[in-house]
Structure 1
């Protein structure tokens, strides 16, 4: 996109506009930083037509937490070479909008924040900065002002530069820190993950594969951090944005971890209070979840322990859950996409099962696999494992409010029995149900009552697999949901079977041409 913007340069100073909504907290932050530099962390779409921008502004219905703002932007193309902007209206589906697009990471000077003359919205005046105006020294000064007296380490600096769009410089600092660490330092894992995410941002597939392999080479013992490293993050260090999910366990928000300059997902649990024993169990379970770091497992960064606001601060996955993309977004997936998702899901669960004693997920369902786009495919990660006691306490506190979702659809027959034992093979059964859901694009046992589902599953009946599902994947699903746990494959063998399905599907596509 950066190269394309360079192909359509603007040759004279522009006056541009953008109407949108921002939170009151964001507005206050901007007011407090007039005269300073601000970085745009995504591609910034504007219009040369103020009337058009006002139309977008007027279409944005204000809420209690959001304010209407009209950005007034002055942009001189002579000011910057590394972050171009261009008039793309002739290439847009909406040419009447007179759209001008700024490159991700563009830097602006914030000149003023004022209320409009009619008192209906705010006007924010910003000016595009030249490359020489935002050198590293100024960036560091800004960072120190943002985080107060906290230490600015190389990783925070690299992540900040990445958010500014200075990817090459961010990569240099990540690598510099990596070179300073001993070869057996467990924190290398976090840097491998940072570098893989950076490669994903810039679309460098080879680099992403390289750092992904480095992650896979780490033994479980080297990917473990001590439970004491689980951060207790104060609620005031988190700025919540929109709700992105809700279930029986908690409500999930996209948020910003202010001190780390990082977008995260925050799950506020449906817990009002915990006694000391329950609080200890809650912290212990989350410490276990935090200690497991793997490329196919969602990272837990920390926990909120304030009474009535118990929560989990986790890695943000922009597409949300597999359930969401299948049944709400109705995203169209080809068979290679589906098999890739199945493979990554199995690898995440398999990693948990390799621990001694094995870590059992106990709640595998499509809601607990989160997705992110990468290149032309997807990255899949498992979340919310090992939280049996916390779930039990949540159930106790919310049973009268009907907040809990039924998960019988994914539950193994032996678990539905009163005296049934939960094992790794119970997780495999649940994976099989997720695979059926992925193959058929339907919710398992949709609209059936719990007791009906339980009766069906315990007597050995299973859902129908249509002929549109590749036969080898259909057979794999049937193996996963075999009635006897011993007849089901373990996750290691399951991965091999899925890879064979992928190979067969690739050969089929090749032969079709």
Structure 2
């Protein structure tokens, strides 16, 4: 029921389940760090069998070589035959569907996990805690990130999608993972769900998340309230309502400056204020002031060569360009490369 609500973006149900989502995440995190999966090999392969629509399968095909994230807690098994049995069960059930609606394809995910690597999204072997221990289940948390390595088709028509769990300790994916982590947040809750929905273009549902959470908060000067205002400000900005984006960003900044404990969140507020001054007020001097404040905090938090710092240099270059300072703009653009 929880995964169904996640897939359908059922905000009302997800709000009811928010404590279960958080608790499940915390339990997975504890198991991941304190009860590591033991195996003689450094690479563990797990499997998941299911049906995908032709549209979803084509999306996967177009994602080969790229990273994907699943909008649910992902259940897998160490036993290939168990995953194949789930495909058979699902395929038999789909036979009762009208032919026009039944475009489902049989899919087997093969997921390689480098057990020696670091990932920001916890996973764990939950067999000792599962009612169905014969399934040898490995559970990935909501929003786990994978690279699509390739897709093949077996003689009996099953599409095999090969995935690799993305790792922060692999240099090629480290920047990407940091970007996703800093923009979509690590801990799953209703606010982080709103950010994910915003990135997916589901603006109305994202707004529901932020507004509902804000209504439930008793203290509108809290860190959680600031997160809601940041989300609402980002939503207003991407939808072109620059005045509203300015108001929300200003409210979030006021709260975060009074809290003094989260440089990363404060840098987001400074960046949003800079965008608001550029777009809503045409005040490029104040925009530069806030872009530089954001840059200083991002450099302190992430290091001078991070993707977030590069984005700040690009924004500073763009602001200088709008001011007609083309030589300075070019230097900042080059620094962002």
Does the alignment reach a TM-score above 0.5? no
TM-score normalised to structure 2 length: 0.44
Q: Report the structure, 1 or 2, having the larger strand content.
A: 1
TM-score normalised to structure 1 length: 0.30
Q: Report the structure, 1 or 2, having the larger helix content.
A: 2
Greater Cα radius of gyration, structure 1 or 2: 1
